[in-house]
């Protein structure tokens, strides 16, 4: 007897749902405690940051998708697009869970300017995962030069506009530099 094959799209969808359920079980709020959900929330220091559908950190999740596409294209070129997307979704979902753990939330508060950060709402985390999936899909369709240009443009815009972005976020989590923290605080 042959084992039933589970389609990649079902696994990918299940991973998104599973991440949401784990986040809820961890005590994350489903939506902003303000009681409503906005499509965009642009105040990085406001109480709704990381609580609504999209925000200034959404571009970093698109870039995650670009990076995961390229890495999985190199590491598993024979694997179908769908299964590579499932792997990327598993990684992004795991990051959303880890990012919303007390250890990482406390780390953000300790070493970045995000002193009032208390984690993402579940709807924001799900949208972050979907943004990664969109970035993954875009990277599969766009020329490499355009994908790189988009990633650079998103990093430049977020760095200039909010003094943060994917690269600065990673640097400050792994190897915090006081000069960056001072610059991010406007000093």
Share of the chain residues as helix, strand and coil, in percent rounded to the nearest 5: 65, 0, 35
- pLDDT at 61 exceeding the cut of 70: yes
CA dihedral 35, 39, 42, 44 (to 10 degrees): 50
Percent of the chain scoring above 70 in pLDDT: 96
Residue range 65-104, pLDDT digits in tens = 999 999 999 999 999 999 999 999 999 999 999 999 999 9
- What is the phi-psi region of residue 156: left when phi exceeds 0, alpha when psi lies from -120 to 50, beta otherwise? alpha
Nearest Cα neighbor of 114 from 56, 51, 184, 63 is: 184
110 vs 170 pLDDT, higher one:
170
Q: What is the pTM of this model?
A: 0.94
Read off the tokens for 144.
């490499």
Angle between helices 102-111 and 166-174 (to 10 degrees): 100
Q: Is 173 helix (H, G, I), strand (E, B) or coil?
A: helix
Are 177 and 171 in contact, with CB atoms under 8 Å apart? yes
Residue range 110-141, pLDDT digits in tens = 887 666 788 999 999 999 999 999 999 999 99
The total of other beta-carbon atoms located within 10 Å of residue 143's CB is: 8
pLDDT for the residue numbered 127: 98
- pLDDT at 149 exceeding the cut of 70: yes
């Amino acid at each position: 007897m042959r084992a039933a094959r589970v389609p990649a799209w079902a696994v990918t969808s299940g991973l998104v749902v599973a991440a949401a359920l784990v986040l809820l079980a961890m005590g994350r709020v489903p939506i902003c405690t303000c009681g409503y959900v906005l499509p965009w929330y642009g105040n990085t220091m406001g109480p709704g940051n990381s609580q609504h559908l999209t925000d200034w950190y959404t571009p970093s999740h698109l870039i995650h998708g670009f990076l995961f596409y390229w890495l999985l294209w190199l590491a598993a070129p024979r694997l179908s697009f769908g299964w590579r997307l499932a792997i990327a979704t598993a990684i992004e979902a795991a990051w959303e869970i880890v990012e919303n753990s007390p250890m990482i939330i406390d780390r953000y508060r300790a070493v970045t300017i995000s002193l009032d950060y208390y984690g993402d709402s579940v709807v924001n985390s799900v949208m972050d995962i979907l943004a990664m999936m969109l970035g993954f899909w875009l990277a599969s369709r766009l020329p490499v030069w355009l994908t790189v240009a988009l990633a650079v443009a998103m990093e430049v815009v977020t760095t200039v506009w909010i003094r943060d972005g994917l690269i600065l976020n990673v640097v400050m989590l792994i190897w915090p530099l006081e000069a960056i923290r001072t610059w991010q605080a406007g000093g």
